[in-house]
Homo-oligomer: A and B are copies of this chain.
Amino acid sequence: MYQEKVMKKVDVWRYKKYEAKVRIVDIYTGKKIILLNEEEAKEHDIYAGYRAGLKHRGHTHVVIVDVSSKLIKPGEVGIFRDLAKAKHLKEGDVVEIVHMDRPASIAYIKKKLDKGVLNKEEIKEIVSDVMRDRLSEIETAAWITAAYINGFSDEEIIALTEATVESGEVLELPGKKKILDKHSIGGVAGNRTTMIIVPIIAAAGLYIPKTSSRSITSAAGTADTMEVLCNVTFSIEELRKIVLKCNGAIAWGGGMNLAPVDDKLIRIRRPLSLDPQGLLLASILAKKKSVGAQYVIIDIPVGRGVKVPYVEKGQELAKHFIRVGKMLNMKIEALITDGSEPIGRGVGPALECIDVFEVLKGRGPSDLRHKSVLMAGKLLELSGKVKKGEGYAVASSILESGKALKKFRQIIELQGGDPKVEPEDIEVGEHSYTFKAKTGGSIFHIDNKAISKIARIAGAPRDKGAGIVLHKMRGDKVRKGDPIFTIYAESEAKLDFAIKALRRLETVEMRKILLNVVE
């Protein structure tokens, strides 16, 4: 009989180790990397990109190896400043460099590359290794690429969501009130609905502990915009106290330890704009799960230039959210919205803040008001707080009555801002330039990406007062010389950059009825 024996999996390399003297390298790398002498490392079968154990006072820390044949002499190990600090290593300390076998998660990454489906434990192992910096950028990039190409099953997304939640802290609120949340898929300039929805829901007597992101490629994120008025960086305990006092909060998610594995992955995802749908869902849902959300409304803008290009794709994504949410005990509703043009008038932190205030005062851009009330209403219906079909009217009346504004001022105060602030007090950049129509016609398209780019070149979101105010919307008729939008900047130089960029970007497309006269 042919007898196949499975070779015992043993880590023979545990016999491979050597002593080295610490040499502190005065750099903060943000990664757990050590530098070894290339030749010496090779003798111990350790290469650049490999993991090694750094044994010091009985503890073995797993690190990624980089090599140098010039800076590090044999018998030395280069320790970067941050690792030295974290592990209390000093110049001249003697440590042991231990050859390590690959972590098990490498095999699971390979399994995903080979179109395999990962089980819960395998996903957890990968997430845990990412969290502990045991995977190199190359390995993590391979995993994300494989996730992008081969996709994740619903079960994998659930496991990933749970592992992501477990990677950080969670917000615990007493069970007296329902916990609501909202999320917008990005890409639409000026789309600052959160700052209107949160006060409406909180005023309606439900919890909405909203954590938001800062901008990555847009002119402002909700966290950047709220920061114009008050602090947004809180610990989870501080967030809890605010929400217990006023039902809602608008905080920066990156400032607390919620689903932190996400931040580790963004560095890898950004260079190629890799947004595998499974990772996107797990990332969003983990953040909602981490604050205990039970009812979640998702805004999926579709159209030219945003992440989701057409309605069918938006519907597919919406159904995916609802299906996975259900398995995670979250009731989710998704709205497919028109995302092809900016929402509101202002684009940039201070300018969007002014729009929000105007809406809360019962004025402001009608598109921003309508969308915010619609979403708040649907969320109220979803939670069972109001009957189906009555959400819009209820949300609208909370807004009209001034209760939402009052709640907004309370949130600002609890977040350390001035509750008496008025839109007129919000400073905008003192340098401005107004772009005017070169011909008459009607506005056919205002480009989100081009508007965001120009606002960023003008200084947004770092310069809070920088950005753009749109004077015209899609469909508006204009005559030659009519102002279309104004760029604001905090410095002359940045305004100049933005004006120069204006010439090379198509921000606004005009349409004329009469294109030509043939004589």
Contact = CB atoms under 8 A, between A and B. Distances in A.
Contact of A7 (B27, B110, B447, B511): B447
A265 to B, nearest CB: 11
A3 interface: yes
B462 A12 contact: no
Contacts of A45: 456
Centre residue among A272, A450, A505 by max chain B CB count within 10 A: A272
A26 B267 CA distance: 26
A142 B504 CA distance: 32
Contacts of A146: 145, 149
B27 A497 contact: no
Interface in A1-47: 3, 5, 7-8, 10, 12, 15-16, 25-30, 35, 42-43, 45, 47
Contacts of A8: 504-506
A3 B139 CA distance: 44
A500 B14 CA distance: 10
Interface in A110-163: 110, 113, 115, 136-139, 141-142, 144-146, 148-150
Nearest to A50: B271
A150 B145 CA distance: 11
A268 interface: yes
User: Interface majority SS on A: helix, strand, loop or mixed?
Assistant: mixed
A121 to B, nearest CB: 20
A362 interface: no
A453 B506 contact: no
Contacts of A273: 110
A109 B462 CA distance: 32
A302 interface: no
Contacts of A148: 113
Interface of A: 3, 5, 7-8, 10, 12, 15-16, 25-30, 35, 42-43, 45, 47-50, 66, 68-71, 78, 81, 106, 109-110, 113, 115, 136-139, 141-142, 144-146, 148-150, 267-268, 270-274, 444, 447, 449-450, 453, 456-457, 462, 497, 500-501, 504-506, 509, 511
Contact of A271 (B3, B10, B139, B511): B139
B42 A462 contact: yes
Contacts of A42: 462
A509 B7 CA distance: 10
Given A15-B457, A146-B145, A27 B71 contact: yes
Contact of A138 (B81, B268, B453, B457): B268
A30 B48 CA distance: 11
Contacts of A81: 70-71
A110 B504 contact: no
A10 B271 CA distance: 19
Nearest to A268: B138
A12 B141 contact: no
A106 B500 CA distance: 26
B71 A110 contact: no
Given A5-B509, A501-B15, A509-B5, A137 B139 contact: no
23 contacts: A3-B444, A3-B511, A8-B506, A10-B505, A12-B457, A15-B497, A15-B501, A16-B457, A26-B71, A27-B78, A28-B68, A47-B270, A49-B270, A50-B271, A71-B81, A110-B272, A110-B273, A113-B149, A137-B138, A139-B271, A139-B272, A142-B145, A145-B146
A517 B5 CA distance: 22
Contacts of A68: 27-30
Nearest to A13: B457
A12 B217 CA distance: 14
A142 B450 CA distance: 28
A28 B137 contact: no
